Chain A
Amino acid sequence: MAELNIIEKVIALEAVDLLKNLSAEQLSRIASIAKEARYTPGKVILGPETTLDALHVILEGAVSISRDGIELHVAHENEVLGSWALFDPEPMSVTAKTIEHTRVLTIGRDDFYDLLSDNTEITASIFAMLVKRFRQLVER
Chain B
Amino acid sequence: MGRLREFWSRTFDVREGEALRTTFMALYLLLVLLAYYILKPVSRGMFLNKFDIDELPYLYIVIAAAGGVMAYFYTKLAIHSSLKTAVNVCTFGMIGTLVLIWHLLTYNWPWMIYLFNAFVSLFSITLVSQGWLVAANVFTTREAKRLYGLLGVSAVIGAAVGGSFTNVMVHYIGTRNLLLASAGFVLLAYGAFLGVTLQKGVSLSQAKGAEKEEEFSIKELTGAIGRVRHLQVIMGIIALTYIVDVTVEFQFNAMAKQAYTNQRELVAFLGNFYGIWLNLITFVLQFFLTAFVVSRFGVGGALQIMPVAIAGASVGTYLSPGVVSTGATRLTEAATRYSFNKTGMELLYLPLPIELRNRTKAFTDIFVDRFSRGVGGLLLIFLTGTLNLSVRQLSIVVFGYTIVWVFLSIRAKNEYVATVRKRLASRRLDLDSLRINVNEAGTMRLLQETTESSNPRQAVYALSLLGEASKYPLEKQLVKLVDSTFPEVRGKVYELAMQRGIRSLYENALAELRSSRFGDDAPVVKPAVEYALWVSSDTPDLAKRLLNHPNQLVARSALSALIAHPEASEPLITKEWIEEAAASKDTNRRVLAAIAIAVRGDAESRALHNLLQDPDPEVAGEACKTAAALQNRVYLDSLLRLLAKARMRGKAIDALAGYGERIVGTLGDVLLDTTSPSAVRRQIPRVLQRIPTQRSVDVLFQAYEEPDLMVRTAALKSLNSMRDKDVKLSFGRDSLTGFIGKEAQYYYEMAAALSPFKESRETPAARLLAQTLEERLRSTLERLFRLLGLKYPAKEMHAAYLALNRKKTDEYTAAIEFLDNILERELKRVLLPLLDEDARISQTGRDLFGVQEKDQRAALRELIKSGDSWLVACAVATAAELGLRDLRPEIEPLARKAGTDVVTVAKSALVTLA
Contact = CB atoms under 8 A, between A and B. Distances in A.
A114 B646 contact: yes
Contact of A6 (B646, B679, B775, B905): B905
Contacts of A74: none
Interface string B880-905: 00000000000000000000010011
A24 B771 contact: yes
A23 B771 CA distance: 7
Contact of A24 (B679, B768, B908): B768
Contacts of B771: 23-24
Interface in A1-31: 2-3, 5-7, 10-11, 23-25, 28
Contacts of B798: none
A50 interface: no
B644 to A, nearest CB: 9
A118 B775 contact: no
Contacts of A7: 764-765, 768, 873-874, 877, 905
Contacts of B649: 117
Interface string B769-789: 001100100000000000000
A32 to B, nearest CB: 6
B772 A6 contact: no
Given A11-B768, A118-B679, A28 B873 contact: yes
B517 interface: no
A118 B679 CA distance: 9
B725 interface: no
Contacts of B904: 3, 5-6
B870 interface: yes
A11 B764 contact: yes
A118 B908 contact: no
Nearest to B649: A117
B445 interface: no
A114 B648 CA distance: 11
Nearest to A29: B870
Contacts of A11: 764, 768
Given A23-B775, A118-B646, A5 B908 contact: yes
Contact of A5 (B646, B764, B905): B905
Contacts of B908: 2, 5
A16 to B, nearest CB: 15
Contacts of B764: 7, 11
A7 B905 CA distance: 7
A42 B135 CA distance: 85
B647 interface: yes
Interface string A115-127: 0011000000000
Contacts of B870: 24-25, 28
A10 B775 CA distance: 15
Contacts, number: 47
Q: Among A3, A113, A118, which residue has the most Cβ atoms of chain B within 10 A?
A: A118
Given A28-B873, A114-B646, A5 B901 contact: yes
A6 B765 CA distance: 11
A75 B647 CA distance: 36
A117 B646 contact: yes
A10 to B, nearest CB: 6
A61 to B, nearest CB: 20
Given A11-B768, A117-B646, A24 B775 contact: yes
A23 B905 contact: no
A24 B868 CA distance: 14
B678 to A, nearest CB: 11
Interface string B326-362: 0000000000000000000000000000000000000
B679 A25 contact: no
B772 A25 contact: yes
B750 to A, nearest CB: 13
Contact of A113 (B646, B768, B873): B646
A28 B646 contact: no
Interface string A71-91: 000000000000000000000
A71 B877 CA distance: 39
A113 B829 CA distance: 44
Contacts of B877: 5, 7
B761 to A, nearest CB: 12
Contact of B901 (A23, A28, A113, A114): A28
A132 to B, nearest CB: 18
B831 to A, nearest CB: 24
A25 to B, nearest CB: 5
A117 B653 CA distance: 14
Contacts of B679: 118
Contacts of B768: 7, 10-11, 24
Nearest to B679: A118
A113 B646 CA distance: 9
Contacts of A32: 901
A74 B804 CA distance: 46
A12 B877 CA distance: 15
A110 B417 CA distance: 52
Nearest to B902: A6
Contacts of A6: 873, 901, 904-905
A117 B647 CA distance: 8
Interface in B641-679: 646-647, 649, 679
Interface in B851-876: 870, 873-874
Interface core residue of A6, A7, A28, A32 (most chain B CB under 10 Å): A7
A34 to B, nearest CB: 12
Nearest to A4: B904
Nearest to A11: B764
A23 to B, nearest CB: 5
B687 to A, nearest CB: 16
Interface string A100-122: 00000000000001100110000
A33 B288 CA distance: 73
A28 B771 CA distance: 12
A10 B878 CA distance: 14
Contacts of B772: 23-25
A67 to B, nearest CB: 35
Task: Tell which of A5, A10, A28, A113 has the most Cβ of chain B within 10 Å.
Answer: A5
A10 B679 CA distance: 22
A28 B647 CA distance: 22
Nearest to B776: A25
A38 to B, nearest CB: 18
A81 B646 CA distance: 27
Nearest to B767: A24
A56 B908 CA distance: 24
A129 B328 CA distance: 73
A114 B888 CA distance: 37
Contacts of A5: 873, 877, 901, 904-905, 907-908
Which of the listed residues B765, B768, B771, B877 has the most CB atoms from chain A within 10 Å of its own CB? B768
Interface string A35-56: 0000000000000000000000
Nearest to A5: B904
Nearest to B907: A5
A5 B874 CA distance: 11
30 contacts: A2-B908, A3-B904, A5-B873, A5-B901, A5-B904, A5-B907, A5-B908, A6-B901, A7-B764, A7-B765, A7-B877, A7-B905, A10-B768, A11-B764, A11-B768, A23-B772, A23-B775, A24-B772, A24-B775, A24-B874, A25-B772, A25-B775, A25-B870, A28-B873, A28-B901, A32-B901, A114-B647, A117-B646, A117-B649, A118-B646
Interface of A: 2-3, 5-7, 10-11, 23-25, 28, 32, 113-114, 117-118
Q: Which 6 pairs from chain A and chain B are nearest by CB? A: A117-B646, A5-B904, A6-B901, A7-B877, A114-B646, A24-B771
Interface of B: 646-647, 649, 679, 764-765, 768, 771-772, 775, 870, 873-874, 877, 901, 904-905, 907-908
Given A5-B908, A117-B646, A117-B649, 16 more contacts: A2-B908, A3-B904, A5-B877, A5-B901, A5-B904, A6-B873, A7-B873, A10-B768, A23-B772, A23-B775, A24-B768, A25-B772, A28-B870, A113-B646, A118-B646, A118-B679
